[in-house]
Amino acid sequence: MHFIKTEEGHRTLGPKFGQQPKHRSIREVGHLVLLVGSITSNLNGRNHYRTILIKARTGCGNTAGVLLNIGDVHRDGAVRRLAEDKIYRRVIEMNNADLIVKTLKSAGINYGFGIPSGNVLPLMEAMRTGGIEFVLTAHEGSAGFSADVMGRMTGAPGLCIATLGPGATNLSTGVGNAWLDRSPMIAITCNLNTDQLGRRIQMHIDHETLFKPITKASFQLREGEIAETLQKALEIALAEPQGPVHLDLPEDVAVAAATETDPARIPRVTYAREASEDAVEKAIPIIAAAKRPIAVLGSTAMRMENKDLLRNFIEHNGIPFASTTMAKGLIDEDHPLSIGCIERGRRQVQRAFLRGADLIIGLGYDTIEVEYEAWIGDVTLLQIDIDPVDTDSSVTVALEVTGNLDSTLTRLNVAKGAANDWTEAEIARHRDSFQASLRPGSDSFTPHAAIDLVRDALPKEGILSFDVGAHTHQIASQWTAHAPRSFLITNGWSSMGFGLPGAIAAKIARPDLPVVCLLGDGCFQMTCGELATALRQNLALPIVVLDDRWLSLIQIKQTRRQFGIYGTALDNVEVDAPPAHYFGVPVIPANTADEFKNGLETAFSASGPTVIEARVDPAHYMDTVFD
C-alpha cells in the first residue's frame, strides 16, 4: 500500500498501483485519513489492525514513521485501543524479527527450515515479508539436517527454526549434525517472553544448556543488541572449523520495535591463517624422499577456496589418492590415480594397500570421520590441515603443516615432487580388484546392483544424498563421485534420518541439477513424513528405498558378536506390494533389476517426488560391509 492525495488534501493510505478495495472504511486520524480495504469494512478488532498495519508497513518503506502518530489520536476509541497496546503499536515499525531476517537475508540465507508454533509466528511473518522462504518440515530434526546441507551447498549458514522445549530438543539432532560435520548453521529457537524465562512453565527448558555441547556458541537475543549478536553469530558459524551457532529469541524481543536501524555487517568467510614458512619448507624434502606415498583427502579440504589445487598436487607428484567418505568428489574418482574411499565397505582391501605406502599425506584430513590409528598401521604420517592432528601415540607423525590449505598447496605445487615408484597400472589393478570385491555374485536382486543402476541413471554432475546403515558402507566404497558436494552424507554425527532431508535441501539449493536420495528402510521409517515436504516444494526427486526388511548393520554386528538376532527385524509380515502412494507421493515397487531400472526411468522423468521401493537381498552385506 502507499500514500495518495485526497480531494481535501489529506494523505491517505491506499492500495498499491491505485487499485480500489472491495470494501473500505475511512477514519480521520489526526492529519491523516486511513483507508483500509479488502480485509475488513470497519476498524474493530485487534487482528484486523495487525493485518492492516503489517500490510501498510511492508508495502511502503516510509509508512511506519507516519503511522506512529496514531498514538497521539484520541478521537476514535478503536484507534485508541490500538495505540495503547504496545505490541500492536510496535508491529507498525520495523521490529527485531524484521531486523533478524534483513540481516540473514543479507548474509545469503534464502531459506529457513522448521515447524511453526505461536512463539515462532513473529519470525515467520518477518520471513514472509522479508524474502526468506519458510520451508515447513515434518520434524524439527529434519529441519536441522536440511539446514546443514543448505549450508554446505551455498556457503552461507543454513537456517533452522523451532519452538521452545520439545521443538528445541527435536532440532538438536540436526544441529549436532552440523557440529560434527562442520557445516555453517544458524539455529533459532523461539522462546517465551523474557520475564518468563527461568520459571517452571509449560515446555520451557534451558536452551543454552541444551545446545552448548553441540554448537560453537549459544546466545540469547536481547533488545538493542540484535545486530551485534547476529554479526558475532555469523562470524563464528563461518570461521574454521565451521559449525552451528544457536540463537534464542524471546517472543517479546521479536515483536519489539528495532532500535538498531541497520542490519549487522556481514562477515566474510574466515579461512585459517597461513602455515609457517618453516613448516612448509620442512615438508618439501619429506615428500621428495617418499617412493610410495599415498595422499588421503579429508572433509576439511571440501571447504578450500580453490579445490583444483588438490588435483594439481596429486598430478605434480604422480601419487595415488584416496578419500574419506565426506571428501569423495573433491577430485573426480574417474581419475587414474584414484583408489577410492577408505574405511567403508571392504575396508581391509584398502587397508592392505595403504599400509604398503612409505608415507601417508593427510590433506585436510579431519579425524572426526575416522581416526588415523584405525587404518594407518606403521606408515609415517605427514599431516597438512587447518588444525593440529588428533592421534594417539601409536601413529608416527613426521610433520604437521597447520594452516590455510590453499596457500600451503600453492607453495608445495611448485616444489620438488615425490621420488615416487608408483605406476598407473598397479594403481588401476588395485582399484579394479577393490571394486570387484564389492560386487559378489548372486542370483538375487542385491543392494550393489541397485546402487550401480542408480549411478548409471544419475548424470555425472548429479547429486546423491544418502543415509546411515549397512548401505552407507556399500555406497561409499562403490559409488564413483565426480564433483565436490555431489556426494552428501553425514559421517561425523552419523545419524540415521539424514538422507531425505539432505536431498530436499540439495534440490532446493540446486534446482538446475538432478538429485537422488538413496536410503535404507530403517532410515525411511524415521523420515518418511518428509515426502510431504518434497511434495509441497514440488521437487523432482527420485527417492530409492533399499527395502531389506532389517536393520542390517546392527544385525551384522549381532551375528559377529554371536548375540541373538533380536530387535532388528523391520517387517515380520509379508506384504505383496507397497501402497500406491505415501502422502500423495507415488510409489513404484521393484523386485528385480529390470523393474528397478524401469522405475528409475519413470522417477527421473517425473515432475515431482517419486518413491522406488526396491526389495533387495542383504545377504552379501555380511561379507562386504566390514571385511
| Residue 61, pLDDT above cutoff 60 | no
Residues 316-333 have pLDDT tens digits of 999 999 999 999 999 999
| Residue 59, pLDDT above cutoff 60 | no
3-state per-residue secondary structure call for 432-474: HHHHHHCCCCCCCCCHHHHHHHHHHHCCCCCEEEECCCHHHHH
**Residue ranges matching CATH 3.40.50.970 in the chain:** 96-255, 438-624
Is residue 55 very low, low, confident or very high in pLDDT (cuts 50, 70, 90)?
A: very low
**The whole model's pTM is what?**
0.85
Among 71-75, 82-86, 158-162, 471-475, the range scoring the smallest mean pLDDT is 71-75
Contacts of 473 (CB under 8 A, 6+ apart): 344, 345, 553, 621, 624, 625, 626
Residues 267-316 have pLDDT tens digits of 777 677 999 999 999 999 999 999 999 999 999 999 999 999 999 999 99
Beta bridge partners of 36: 25
Pick the CATH number of 277-426 from 3.40.50.1220, 3.30.365.10, 1.20.1060.10, 3.40.640.10: 3.40.50.1220
Q: Would you identify the CATH topology of the domain 96-255?
A: Rossmann fold (3.40.50)
**Residue ranges matching CATH 3.40.50.1220 in the chain:** 277-426
Percent of the chain with pLDDT over 70: 83
Question: Is 82 or 184 the better-scoring residue by pLDDT?
Answer: 184
CB count within 10 Å of CB 433 equals: 12
CATH architecture of 438-624: 3-Layer(aba) Sandwich (3.40)
User: Measured between alpha carbons, how far is 150 from 396 in angstroms, rounded to an integer?
Assistant: 38
User: Measured between alpha carbons, how far is 89 from 93 in angstroms, rounded to an integer?
Assistant: 8
In this prediction, residue 272 carries a pLDDT of 79
Among 6-15, 154-163, 538-547, the range scoring the smallest mean pLDDT is 6-15
In this prediction, residue 89 carries a pLDDT of 41
In this prediction, residue 626 carries a pLDDT of 73
Residues 335-394 have pLDDT tens digits of 999 999 999 999 999 999 999 999 999 999 999 999 999 999 999 999 999 999 999 999
pLDDT mean over 40-63: 35
Return mean pLDDT, the chain.
86
